[in-house]
Each structure stands twice: as structure tokens, then as C-alpha cells.
Amino acid sequence: MALSPRTLKAITLPETEDRDICLITLTHRKWSEPIRLSTDATTFLYNHPDSGEPIYGTVSRGETYLYAPMQATMPNSADEQPPEARIIFSNVGRAVTPYLMMVDAEYPRVTIEVVNSFAPDVVDVSYPEMDLNSATWDASTAEVSIMNSIASNEPMPWLRFTPAAFPNLFN
């Protein structure tokens, strides 16, 4: 996926106000709607109805991603293993932990997208529909491991090269 012109320009500048924002979408068949989280408090959204606390987040492509303090490590590209990302949510007891507790053997699907703070509607990098591989949490943090394990479960090659299936290989 090609980077946006604004992001390419920001990469080459020694100093810039642009910053990358990681948008995370978690979906599960048991949830009525997906959880959308952002690594950046880009804009003020509203005041919490009960506590009056200001709620910040990022609006991208018409969807609202709530700001949650977190540290995200993007998927690696090591040879002979599927890409794996790690996300550590800070003070997550009110945001993500109740959803993780509701999940049984089937973990949620996770989409990770990176956008520029000045152009949040343009996705620079996308890792769609990854599997939440494992999750651990305590009173102050939750750590999730995300892996694209779909491809790693596929047999390779999917078909045997036999004379009946591929006669031209054996002539």
C-alpha cells in the first residue's frame, strides 16, 4: 500500500507537526457493534454523560475511534512466521477488559490502520482482519497479541502435483 503524499513529505522533514495515529477496530459475533480505539486524542468528542469527563478520539471516514492510552507494536515481517502485532492498553479496566472477559474460545477479529493526524480519512497502512491470538490483563493493563494466522493454517501446496491433476508436468 502506497503512503499518502502528506505522510511521505512528513517522513523527509527534520521536524513536523504530523504524527501517525493507529486506529484499532475489534469485532466479535457476540458484540452488537465493533470497538473502535485510537492511539491519539486528536479532537474533543463530548463530555461523558455520568462523570462529565471530556472524551477525546479520532474521527476517520465517518467512524469515531475513542482515545485509549496504549502502546502498539506493528506486525513484524519475519521470515517463516505469520505477522504478529502486540498492543498494551493502559488503564483498560473501563474500555476493553469487559469485552475480553465476554469472549469464549473464539477471539475477536482485529483491524489495524495507520493514518496521518492531518488527514485521518486517508489510510496509509492497513492490516485487515487479523486474529486476536491471546489476551492477558490485570488491574492496570491488558496485553493482546494479534496474528495473521489464516495464511499459516493453509496447507502449502494445497494440491498435490500428480500426473492425473497436472499431466503436462509429467510429459
User: DSSP 3-state assignment of 50?
Assistant: coil
pLDDT for 59 equals 93
Q: What is the pLDDT of residues 111-143, one digit of tens each?
A: 888 888 888 898 888 888 888 777 888 878 888
C-alpha 53/C-alpha 66 separation (Å) is 13
pLDDT for 78 equals 65
Say yes or no to pLDDT of 150 above 60. no
If you average pLDDT over every residue of the chain, what do you get? 79
pLDDT for 65 equals 93
C-alpha 64/C-alpha 128 separation (Å) is 18
Q: How many residues does the chain have?
A: 171
pLDDT for 58 equals 92
Q: What is the pLDDT of residues 63-91, one digit of tens each?
A: 999 888 888 777 666 666 666 778 888 76
Say yes or no to pLDDT of 92 above 70. no
User: For residue 106, what is its C-alpha cell?
Assistant: 473464539
pLDDT for 155 equals 59
pLDDT for 154 equals 57
What is the reported pTM? 0.74
- Average pLDDT for 139-161: 69
Supply the DSSP string of 109-153, one letter for each residue: EEEEEEEETTEEEEEEEEEEEEEEEEEEE-SSEEEEEEE--TGGG
C-alpha 58/C-alpha 23 separation (Å) is 8
